[in-house]
Structure 1
Amino acid sequence: MTQVLAMETVSPVDDEKREQVRHTLESQKIEFILAQFVDIHGCPKVKQVPVDCFDDLVDGGAGFAGGAVWGLGQGPHNHDLMARADLDTFVRLPWRPNVAVANCDIFVDNEPWPFCVRTNLRRMVGRFAEAGYTLNGGFEPEHFLVEKTPDGGIRPWDPLGVDTLAKPCYDFRGMCQTMDYLQEIIRCGNQMGLGIYQSDHEDANGQYEINFGWTHALHAGDQLVRFRMMAGQIAPKYGAVATFMAKPFDDKTGSGAHLHFHVADSASGRNLFPLNGDGEDLKGLGLSSTAIHFIGGLLKHIGAITAIASPTINCYRRIQSGEFVYSSASGYTWTPAYASYGDNNRTQLFRCPDPNRFEDRSPSAMVNPYLLLAAHMAAGLDGIRNRIDPGDAIIGENVWNLSHRQRRERGMILLPQNLSEAIAALEADPVVQAGLGPIAQEYIRLKKAEWSEFMRTVTPWEVQRLLTFI
């Protein structure tokens, strides 16, 4: 379909770095390189390249037919996508030690391709840096281990039959039967530079969470993609399927990818969120005006951000308002449906565990991290530049215990309750759209088509409820 490699270059590559990477690949006895990028959904796409073609991959790239990939802005008539390896991202796959993977940026006709989500995030990182800022963060991906049933359904992976508690979070027995899997995940992840510092059994049977260290925005996106690739390959060794589906079970909590983040000074690297005794503590959280206005921007644009943070129809099963719905066996959904910010409690959308960072608790485990980080920078920069006030912080109060009327009276915005509402919010938000570049219109088009297909699908719930209703 396409040529495999192209030899042309756009700009000189750091020769010293190139030789360092080449030496590492040789010393590790790497035979093949996976040239990897993601589509608009965040799904990894690869080509396998012999290590002898290392220079070609760095200078020209591995060729892909863009029309065969979701959301890359191409049809079958367009020129090849060339996935060009980022020298800073080569790493060996611990579970397949003769293979390395490299994150790639997409070029077409030797020019950066604006429909590439990683390329777009690079653009936003540059725009953010021009304003004097760097966005740092780390994701906390939750996922289920499941197994398929003879009737075609799924159930939590539970080989010893011990993961049955109504409140299984942090459970010793549930963790023990999964310890080998989690230890292999941590070992392999840290060999790949993920900086994993803890793991745990989460709130649902069969659900687990991994915590990463801090890094800059581009690397944070790469980390989440690599973790999901790794989990999908290691879980089958233990007879399980790792799923990042947001809400695979009706009666259990969904899976998120919470994002911890702060804004730093682009020149010095200093964290700009803590007040550090400079100025008045306006919101009672020890935060600077930069932090407050950044959160103000996120809250102002939260509807459009939700379209990115919760990208599929299933994601909205985990962010329902709770006015008429059941939560989960443990009694909590753990997912905010209203937009609020405040102190160190998990009923907030934006939780402030410490003045040095915020946690965004809304993103689904299916989020495309490159798009979310770009949207955060666009919305947050709007907040800083226009000094957007997020309103009063919620301190020492359980948001879930407030009535829906009380929440609305306090100005808390109800998050979009389905994909159609979220896409409408994105379509009406020029700031977040600008953060996505031309990807925005492609994303809107694909998500509208997804919603249309869903609305034509008759579900088993409808048949059971309505077949003999009248």
Structure 2
Amino acid sequence: MDKKELLNKIKEDNVKFISLQFSDVTGTVKSVDMPVRNFPDALEDGAWFDGSSVEGFARIQESDMRLTIDQDTYAVLPWSPEERRRARVFCDIYMPDNTPFEGDPRGTLKRMLAKISERGWMLNIGPEPEFFLFKRGNGSGVHPVPHDVGSYFDFSANDEAVRVRTELMEALDIMGLDVEVGHHEVALGQHEIDFRYGDALRAADNILTLKYTVKAIAAQNGLVASFMPKPIYGVNGSGMHCHQSLFNEQGENLFFDDSDEFKLSKLAYSFIAGQLKHARALTAVCAPTINSYKRLVPGYEAPVYIGWAQTNRSALIRIPRHNEGRDKAVRAELRFPDPSANPYLAIATMLGAALDGIDNEMTVPAPMNNVNIYHLTPEELVEKGIESLPGSLAEAMRELENDDVVRNALGKETYEAFSRAKWAEIEEHRMKVSDWEVERYLETA
């Protein structure tokens, strides 16, 4: 839509307020709200805001920042009441001198995508974010209670979880996501809603949209929606597998080669090799919380070991099977990201690692088909040269510090802001006393 069409659409939708949205470095959605009467001016000139109070943005002396509206991201918020109907647009962040703010996560991804656009390529991402629905009303305690008793792909005609998930899918459709499928996941109360793959920037926008839409609809149903990677001990955690492929300007899948055993092109193999090489540093951005490393352990379907395969879901990167003649479906599924990640930064670094593989014509090791890596002994892992992901956020951050390729994909400003935020999280966690410590040591120490 051009500006005139957008303003007419806003009027037709009876919108009263517009939320100008962006994210901080940790992936938290921020919003500047305005009455609809002020929106035409904001479309022309942007909207000023104080960046000094936003995580990772600006020092006090550099606080003035401008939101520039991406009008193609307009969507009505379906849970807002009709008399106060709200819509949202995503924004890019600029400095007073009209230069893009280097610490803007969305801008960070756009800079990386510009590099492949120069080559005539487009990165497509199909994300699969998982989440839990928990009951409210469990007192003042923090231990969550699952909303249902279903398991993987379970169906019941009277299932309350199905009703809520259907409501979620309807809301996401209204928000402009092309929802493909929703289903119950392995753990009690765990769900997944997948939307059609698309260009990487829109995919990242859609991940943020899905997260706050799911939270809003869950709250209307008296539930708590959580994208925490491992909210419950002893059951599967929530991941965000990312299906990736590169297309050219003619719409051809550059990952496809019909003559190859796995139908993968040389470009695809180098793409995968780059991500495998930088996997340990990527983990800091793609699994960026203390809790992420409670999910990345053997035994709960989360990938831990660095390798690739077609038939093996314990591998870090999997090549999903596809029907004959569907060359556009050939893709590489990166399995270790989780939904706590800032999607802009996660995709930017995933692409940066892949480009290093492509530009240096890296080759992949042998695939890990027909072997369950979880069952290998430590000696066998060493013998096969199979490395594992970091075991903690601190270990992952040290890997990131030493990886120029992944750090450069973030950019200096974004990396420094991200590093400050994550080391502060690590230090805060280090000083906290957990339930486990009390149970273990209170009487035995």
Please indicate the TM-score interval, normalised by the length of the shorter structure.
over 0.9
Is the CA contact (8 Å cut-off) linking 2:319 and 2:331 kept in structure 1?
A: yes
Q: Which residue in the other structure is 2:268 paired with?
A: 291
* 1:106 pairs with 2:88: no
Where in structure 2 are there 5+ consecutive unaligned residues? Answer: 322-328
**Which residue identity is paired with 2:135?**
E
Q: Which residue in the other structure is 1:118 paired with?
A: 106
Equivalent residues in 2 for 1:167-178, closer than 5 Å: 168-173=151-156, 176-178=159-161
Q: Which residue in the other structure is 2:3 paired with?
A: 18
Is the CA contact (8 Å cut-off) linking 1:128 and 1:377 kept in structure 2?
A: no
- Decide whether aligned partners of structure 1 residues 156 and 464 sit closer, same or farther in structure 2, where only a CA change above 3 A counts: closer
SS at match of 1:172: coil
After TM superposition, the structure 1 stretch with the greater mean CA deviation from structure 2, 217-226 or 441-450, is 441-450
Q: Which residue in the other structure is 1:187 paired with?
A: 170
Q: Which residue in the other structure is 1:89 paired with?
A: 73
Q: Which residue in the other structure is 2:240 paired with?
A: 257
Q: Cα distance, 1:151 vs. partner?
A: 4.3
Question: Within 2, Cα distance between the matches of 1:231 and 1:60?
Answer: 32
Question: Within 2, Cα distance between the matches of 1:114 and 1:287?
Answer: 35
Question: Within 2, Cα distance between the matches of 1:136 and 1:155?
Answer: 35
After TM superposition, the structure 1 stretch with the greater mean CA deviation from structure 2, 343-352 or 109-118, is 343-352
Q: Which residue in the other structure is 1:306 paired with?
A: 283
Question: Within 1, Cα distance between the matches of 2:117 and 2:391?
Answer: 34
Question: Within 2, Cα distance between the matches of 1:273 and 1:311?
Answer: 28
Q: Which residue in the other structure is 2:143 paired with?
A: 154
SS at match of 2:257: coil
**Match among 235, 251, 257 for residue 269 of structure 1:** 251
Is the CA contact (8 Å cut-off) linking 1:174 and 1:201 kept in structure 2?
A: no
SS at match of 1:103: strand
Q: Which residue in the other structure is 2:342 paired with?
A: 368
Question: Within 2, Cα distance between the matches of 1:385 and 1:208?
Answer: 38
Q: Cα distance, 1:55 vs. partner?
A: 2.4
Instruction: Normalising by structure 1, report the TM-score.
Output: 0.88
* 1:142 pairs with 2:109: no
SS at match of 2:68: strand
**Match among 55, 59, 62 for residue 75 of structure 1:** 59
Question: Within 2, Cα distance between the matches of 1:195 and 1:154?
Answer: 34
Is the CA contact (8 Å cut-off) linking 2:304 and 2:314 kept in structure 1?
A: no
Deviations 1:106-156 (A, max 9, x none): 111022111000011111110122234221012111111113422412333
Q: Which residue in the other structure is 2:324 paired with?
A: none
After TM superposition, the structure 1 stretch with the greater mean CA deviation from structure 2, 354-363 or 244-253, is 354-363
SS at match of 1:371: helix
Q: Which residue in the other structure is 2:191 paired with?
A: 208
**Match among 118, 136, 147 for residue 130 of structure 1:** 118
Question: Within 2, Cα distance between the matches of 1:187 and 1:35?
Answer: 23
SS at match of 2:62: coil
Question: Within 2, Cα distance between the matches of 1:222 and 1:408?
Answer: 40
Moved over 6 A (4+): none
Deviations 1:275-320 (A, max 9, x none): 133xxx3xx3221000000000000100111000111101110002
**Which residue identity is paired with 2:91?**
C
Is the CA contact (8 Å cut-off) linking 1:175 and 1:200 kept in structure 2?
A: no
Q: Cα distance, 1:413 vs. partner?
A: 1.7
Q: Cα distance, 1:404 vs. partner?
A: 3.4
Question: Within 2, Cα distance between the matches of 1:405 and 1:371?
Answer: 35
Q: Cα distance, 1:406 vs. partner?
A: 2.4
Q: Which residue in the other structure is 1:348 paired with?
A: 315
Q: Cα distance, 1:396 vs. partner?
A: 3.1
**Match among 22, 25, 30 for residue 45 of structure 1:** 30
Deviations 1:212-249 (A, max 9, x none): 10100000000000000101110022211001111111
Q: Which residue in the other structure is 1:65 paired with?
A: 50
Percent sequence identity over aligned pairs: 34
**Match among 441, 447, 450 for residue 422 of structure 2:** 447
Question: Within 2, Cα distance between the matches of 1:134 and 1:228?
Answer: 25
Q: How many residues align?
A: 432
SS at match of 1:197: strand
SS at match of 1:83: strand
Question: Within 1, Cα distance between the matches of 2:140 and 2:100?
Answer: 47
Question: Within 2, Cα distance between the matches of 1:186 and 1:76?
Answer: 41
Question: Within 1, Cα distance between the matches of 2:257 and 2:294?
Answer: 37
Where in structure 1 are there 5+ consecutive unaligned residues? Answer: 1-15, 323-331
Instruction: Normalising by structure 2, report the TM-score.
Output: 0.93
**Match among 275, 295, 298 for residue 318 of structure 1:** 295
Question: Within 2, Cα distance between the matches of 1:348 and 1:447?
Answer: 27
